[in-house]
Amino acid sequence: MTTGGRSGASRVDGTGSSEEHQLDLGSCDVDIDDTITLSNWPLLTGFAKLPPCVHNELKDHFIIAQELDGKTVLAAINGIMDSNAASILKGEGVLYKVPSRDKKNIAFEKSAGLLLGRGGTITYDLGTKKLKKTTGITCVLSVVHEAVSKGVTVTVRDVFYRNRDVFGSKQFTEACIYDVCCLLGCDKASLNLVSFEKGSVIGPLKLKLTNGEVASCSELSGRRIPSEKRLLEVESFDCGDAEFILVVEKQSLFHHLSQMDFHNKQRCIMVTGNGVPDIATRVFLKRLVSETKLPHYALMDPDPDGFMILCVYAYGSANLAFDISGLAVPTLRWLGLWVEDLIWAGIGVTQLKDVTPREEKMLSNLLGNKNLSRFFPRHWSVRFQDIALRGKKASFEILHSKGFDFVSKVFLPALLNKRRNNETVDRERNAVTVEKSLRNSFQKTNRKGVTKNDTDFPARSDT
């Protein structure tokens, strides 16, 4: 049994300083190999399945959202309201002390993704600067109390329109909901709140429900991914003859591949979050990966938005850093699309589009996030920097110039075979080779990021 280990988590305190977090399992009454630390513990099995010692170690340092029953949620809300009632009688007004979701309070742990530290809190009161958020939190607590009491599920859209004058926007509504989750220490599903069913899935997959019914995902247009609450009704997954899982960034590509019967021809399960994935899509993907043990790949555009979405799937998002129990999939492999893939397919660099100022800022923030970027696989960073230095981006649609069925019948099958047949290759060694090649290529790049010779680009590596 280990008495301690070095974790990959960078812990942030309320002052914004960080320190390397040490996992102490000395008092853990469970047989654990000496190599087990917080950073390599198999969190894909779900937070609830971890030994109590690891539960406590995580909860000591990070805000960990838990699944609470209705009775516990109501008791917590009643306690908060009773406290505020007493505060009002004293003339102090409404007061909420909410764990800060500021980026300075967020740490990154390699196997779990982004984590919300316990280092700081924000006090919301009836002061001028914080009145809107205080009112918003109060409205969310009121809606949640009613929904849980009556045993009904409410959409985030319903919460917004019920208090539209208070919230002003759906984004602010979600911010207030996340603050309530942090305040109560629970996930959104525990509040009986759900988002619209945004994601889709298609392939030889059957969802076995707790009531004995079976939902097939093999229809031509696929199936909407159930909301977080309804996902609790999925008892198990039957993946049939599927050989791998393919996460597709955009609905347009998902639809195109579905129409071309790609999932059947390649025997795969395709999942899309239709852009930035919602919570339900991320929970669904993590359960699917964990329970089927299938290889899982991500197919993203070579642009800053595609990179950001890739990182959300793999490492989580800052907004939901308090909920690590079923979101991040750090084992996700990046299949492509990379700039060299386009060259490989006969697309010239001069055909790429310019990166916009908004995208430049997004990419700069991504590469500048030391907590996150230091855990990127080497080949990820190389390709992020490729786009940054070139100032050029692309999308899958550019490949349609080769023919409408080129992507599904020629390009992706070849890309998959190349990648899947070389998964044992030393990725770091290949990434160094690509990096050197890119550096040579960049030396021949003009100020706009267009190479002087489209063919002077490294061949696609197997990283």
Residue with tokens 């950001």: 308
Which residues 6+ apart lie within 8 Å of 232 measured at CB?
189
Contact between residue 310 and residue 334 where contact means Cβ atoms under 8 Å apart:
yes
Helix (H) or strand (E) holding 420: helix 412-420
CA distance between the termini of the chain: 36
Contact between residue 378 and residue 427 where contact means Cβ atoms under 8 Å apart:
yes
Instruction: For residue 118, give the DSSP letter.
Output: S
DSSP-derived 3-state class of residue 66: strand
**Residues acting as catalytic residues:** 161
Q: Report the amino acid identity of residue 62.
A: F
How far apart are the C-alpha atoms of 461 and 463, rounded to whole Å?
6
Helix (H) or strand (E) holding 56: helix 52-61
Number of helices (H) and strands (E) in the chain: give both, helices first. Answer: 18, 20
How far apart are the C-alpha atoms of 246 and 297, rounded to whole Å?
5
How far apart are the C-alpha atoms of 299 and 188, rounded to whole Å?
28
- One DSSP character per residue, 319-339 reads GGTT--SS---TT-EEEE--H
Biggest alpha carbon–alpha carbon distance for the chain:
76
How far apart are the C-alpha atoms of 285 and 390, rounded to whole Å?
33
Tell me which residue of 81, 78, 74 sits closest to 149, measured CA to CA: 74
* Phi, psi angle pair for 116, to nearest 5°: -95, 120
> Is the CA virtual torsion 172, 174, 177, 179 positive or negative?
negative
Reading the block at residue 452, the tokens are: 């002087």
Tell me which residue of 85, 84, 107 sits closest to 97, measured CA to CA: 84
Count of residues in the chain: 463
Contact between residue 337 and residue 460 where contact means Cβ atoms under 8 Å apart:
no
